Amino acid sequence: MYRMSGFSEIEEMYLKTMFEIHSENPAAIVKTTQLADIKGVSAASVTEMIQRLSSRDMVTHIPYRGCRLTPSGFQLAARIKRREILLEILLTDVIGFEGDVHGVACKMEHAVGSDLESTLDRLLGYPEFSSEGKRIPSVERDFETTGVSTLLPLSKLPDQSSATVELIISSDSEAVTIRECGITIGSVIETSADSRTCDGNIITISDSLSMRILARINSIGG
């Protein structure tokens, strides 16, 4: 099955693996045997894939040794890796998913196009690092101005804004903490440079928990 990039899922997976190897050692050739070990396939299968990707100018094939990503291949591979990490942040920090985060994100990344990637990026507050502290591959961004009707986690609301809570995603224990803060669906959150209020009452809530509470901006600077 071919994805929005025009490449199949398996082709994208190979490109991402090459990018990961490159990130560890940028000057090294990605060896055929190394790829075969990581993917759990034969060297012949890897060579066939390298030749296929080479024909589409994604890699430079170095016979009997392996390959290197071309500039076009590097750009696409970085984008695939970036989408995987954004999805991992969404699953972990916003949704609170406790299953196989990496495995699920890995399956989802191939269906994410540029528009959805940009929306995820904005929703997560334009993160630069993964949940594990690793730098997210950078791309040219169109930073959208956060405005009225934008849905954001509480921790990402701009100063001097008012927003209405629309979605709360939490475990049972987290729900108790949220209720103790007086936050429910429909609550109005107002922010300033040094505090947040919920329906007029000052609240103190961790950034990690506030990522699970999504509110839609009603006004800014008013």
- Residue 66 is assigned to a structural domain of this protein: yes
Q: What is the mean pLDDT of residues 14-43?
A: 91
CATH number, domain with residue 168: 2.30.30.90
Q: What is the mean pLDDT of residues 83-93?
A: 93
pTM of the predicted model, to two decimals? 0.74
Report the amino acid identity of residue 2.
Y
Is residue 67 a part of any domain in this protein?
A: yes
Flag whether pLDDT at 92 surpasses 70. yes
Q: pLDDT at residue 143 above 50?
A: no
Mean pLDDT, all residues of the chain: 88
| Contact in structure between 104 and 85 (CB atoms under 8 Å) | no
Q: Which of 40, 73, 106 is the last residue of a domain?
A: 73
Burial (0-12, 13-18, 19+ Cβ within 10 Å), 217:
buried
Enter the tokens of residue 144: 């959208």
Q: Give the range of the structural domain holding residue 55, as residue numbers without chain letter.
A: 9-73
pLDDT at 94: 87
Give mean pLDDT, residues 193-215: 89
* CATH code: domain of residue 48: 1.10.10.10
Question: Stretch 202-206: mean pLDDT, rounded?
Answer: 90
Within-domain flag for 2: no
Is residue 30 within a helix (H) or strand (E), and if so which, with residue range? Answer: strand 30-31
Q: Is residue 92 part of a domain?
A: no
DSSP code per residue over 104-165? HHHHHGGG--HHHHHHHHHHTT--SB-TTSPBPPP-----PPP-TT-EEEGGGPPTTEEEEE
pLDDT at 123 over 80: yes
What residues contact residue 208 under an 8 Å CB cut-off, 6+ apart?
A: 93
What percent of the chain shows pLDDT beyond 90? 50
Task: Identify the CA nearest to 20 among candidates 87, 74, 88.
Answer: 74
In a domain, 113, yes or no: no
- For 41-77, the pLDDT digits (tens) are 999 999 999 999 999 999 999 998 899 999 999 999 9
Classified as helix, coil or strand, 44 is helix
Q: What was the pLDDT predicted at 149? A: 81
Is 105 within the bounds of a domain? no
Alpha-carbon torsion angle 92, 76, 45, 84, nearest 10:
0
Residue 205 lies in a domain: yes
Tell me how many domains the chain contains: 2
49 sits in which H/E element? helix 43-55
With a cut of 70, say whether residue 144 has pLDDT above it. Answer: no
